[in-house]
A and B are shown apart, each in its own frame.
Chain A
Amino acid sequence: MLSKPELIESSPYFTGLVAAELEAVSRLMFEKQCERGEIILFEGEAAGALYFIASGAVKIFKTSADGKEQILTIVRPGEAFNEVPVFNGGINPASAQAMTPVALYGISRQDVESILRSYPQVALNVIKVMAKRLRNLVSLVEDLSFRRVIGRVAKILLEYVTDGATPGARLSQRDMAAIAGTAREVVSRSLKALEEEGIIRMDRHRIIVKDKTALQEMAGSSI
């Protein structure tokens, strides 16, 4: 588990602060323990605090109108979440749930504003972090606009499917993400969507292609 000093020193938000300033930030942090499955933040609620993970993993997700969960990212030790609503006000754009027992350090919104006013270096660091995020999001928009990932995942399944009699190459979701040029979470959603459509069935370590024709249509090819 990361200690508070380790978290603060390794965070990109606090780069360049001297020891006394880091200590001042540390005093503003509160501890929070969460059990596996506990909802830390609800989408749509007013943002209360910026959180840093000392141990465990947290999933950030949105719930669609029909109740489906879409995981946006997984946050791990040393990383932070809930920055956007804390920095620019407004409600939580997504929910956060503990995937394991989680230890967090939080800074309230008011204290974050106080830190930004007191230590301009932190504000500069925030700008750099947000700019990098924006760059990644632009890339994601391009991906979503011009390339349908589910079609690429369908194409990958078609390329690697076998009749089961002779063993073929086995692919993890991470492998599929690398081949498709997307994030693992997007592949996971694509496989779930294909399963819900009845095109494939996930059976432990096997992906069973039930409707090859539909998969071909999805892939937009005639393999």
Chain B
Amino acid sequence: MRLSPQIDSNKCNGCGLCVSICLQHGLVIVNNVVVVVEGVECDWCAQCEAVCITGAISCPYEIVLEI
């Protein structure tokens, strides 16, 4: 299953910093809110989350024990 960053559109101010920083070009601003581009493989660098000042975009991790 292809996972994508989670976006809280209520918090997004449309600044576009996350769009600029994504090397995979996986984000785009639509109607002043960021959305994930379908079909782009996210490498989970989490730079979009790092640069977002409002906390609108997050890249949550599943924490698992190695078998």
Contact = CB atoms under 8 A, between A and B. Distances in A.
B16 to A, nearest CB: 9
A74 interface: yes
Interface in B30-51: 42-44, 46-47, 49-51
Interface string A168-194: 101111110000000011001000000
Contact of A212 (B6, B47, B51, B65): B65
B60 A101 contact: no
Contact of A77 (B15, B43, B47, B59): B15
A174 B66 contact: no
Contact of B65 (A76, A99, A163, A172): A163
Contact of B50 (A56, A74, A201): A74
Contacts of A209: 63-66
Contacts of B63: 157, 160-162, 168, 170-171, 206-207, 209
A168 B60 CA distance: 11
Interface residues of A, number: 34
Question: How big is chain B's contact interface, by range?
Answer: 20 to 34
A57 B51 contact: yes
B46 A173 contact: yes
Contacts of B59: 172-173, 205
B39 to A, nearest CB: 17
A208 B64 contact: yes
Contacts of A74: 50-51
A74 B51 CA distance: 7
Contact of A76 (B46, B53, B62, B67): B53
B60 A205 contact: yes
Interface string A45-60: 0000000000011000
B3 A205 contact: yes
Interface of B: 3, 6, 15, 17, 20-21, 42-44, 46-47, 49-51, 53, 55, 58-67
Interface of A: 56-57, 74, 76-77, 99-101, 157, 160-164, 167-168, 170-175, 184-185, 188, 201, 204-210, 212
9 contacts: A99-B47, A161-B65, A162-B63, A185-B50, A204-B42, A205-B3, A205-B62, A208-B64, A209-B64
